[in-house]
Amino acid sequence: MKKYFYLSLLIGFILTISAFAQPPKIDYTPLKKKEFQNKEYLKCLYKEDSYISKRNEIAKQFEHTTPGQWGEFVRGVDEDLVTSKKIIAFTFDACGGPHRNKYDKELINYLRKEKIPATLFVTGLWIDDNYATFLELSKNPLFEIENHGFNHQPCAINGESKYGIKGTANVEAAFDEIEANEQKIQAITGRRPIFYRSATAYIDEAGAHLASLLGVQVISFDVLSDDAIPYEKISVIKESVLKNVKPGAIIIMHFNHPEWNTCEALKVIIPELRKQGYSFSLLKDYPLKSKAKKVSLQEKEKQEKEKAEKEKQEKNKAEKQEKIDSYLIPGKLPEWSIGTVPKTVVRETVPRVRIPHFPL
Ligand SMILES: [Zn+2]
């Protein structure tokens, strides 16, 4: 009996120890719709060691990094498909949040009907308000779901704003803006987005570099359709697209404002583009490029410094030469200039020497 008592004590002891040794298992998948809401989802991510360690590692790496240029076409951002053929890509953003969380069903139905492939950039906020629609869109191979940010904040490492929208305050926030939405979209659709368009399309160079470290290519646009100017006329949107379109162009529009004229304009634009011989592609099906070679802020500053230094040297040289010219008398050089004036200069300047004019 005693033997069994000690044995059960031993088993109890082992069980207790193993319960303490093993961290409590948190089962995140499958998440319910409610758990995918931005606030809840971020809480889940913050409990994941892999997410936090990557976030800390990036923050450390960027500790002494300056933001660099801020804009839509900074270094590290692509805006064109690489093709000489008449192929273009339509991209549509869904920004999310108050007044930006609607769904342009008519537009999407038109794309479906006309079999026009389109890349959809979606925020975590928009998913929160349109979960079922998002899930349905993600299953349609005509559409490619990409990342428009977790909270629709322009990606900055110093809180820079654009159009009154506050950018991410620091590196950690920029990381969350990109990576949290990457993981959220992947958790819902099973596919990790490969492209990211910052809210407002503005981003700083550091943010673009950060995205590349996360394996995400930042996309801006080549043709601004102007559909985001509230209630812009159909004719203006049409002209903005048709006037600027060219092989490889990436066109930016929105599918979260059914009250705007995006869909109506598209119904005029698409037949015209087809008449001109254009066809349409997803971003993922073509290699991408920047419009021009970008010069980083540091390089630009260096170039400007060098230019200023060169100008200063040339100015000094010219002033010195002027001084020499004004003092030079044929056959005699002023003492201070001996050894400083190259012979060629002397020879050249002698015939042009100023001879003092005396009153006759
Ligand atoms: Zn947006």
H or E element at residue 239:
helix 234-244
Residue 269 CA, ligand 1 centroid: distance in Å: 22
Q: What is the rounded average pLDDT for all residues in the chain? A: 85
Please tell me the pTM assigned to this model: 0.74
Pairing of strands 250-254, 87-94: parallel
Of 51-55, 113-117, 195-199, 228-232, where does mean pLDDT reach its minimum?
228-232
Q: Which residues fall inside 5 Å of ion ligand 1, going by CB?
A: 93, 95, 199
Residue 93 CA, ligand 1 centroid: distance in Å: 6
Structure tokens at 297: 């802020």
Residue 71 CA, ligand 1 centroid: distance in Å: 15
Beta-sheet strands, E only, within the chain: 70-71, 77-78, 80-81, 87-94, 118-122, 143-147, 161-162, 165-166, 195-196, 203-204, 217-219, 223-224, 250-254, 279-280, 288-289
**pLDDT level of residue 319 (50, 70, 90 thresholds):** confident
Residue 96 CA, ligand 1 centroid: distance in Å: 8
Query: Is the separation of the CB atoms in 95 and 126 below 8 Å?
Result: yes
Residue 200 CA, ligand 1 centroid: distance in Å: 5
Q: What is the DSSP letter of 96?
A: -
- Looking at the chain, the whole-number percentage of residues with pLDDT higher than 70 is 77
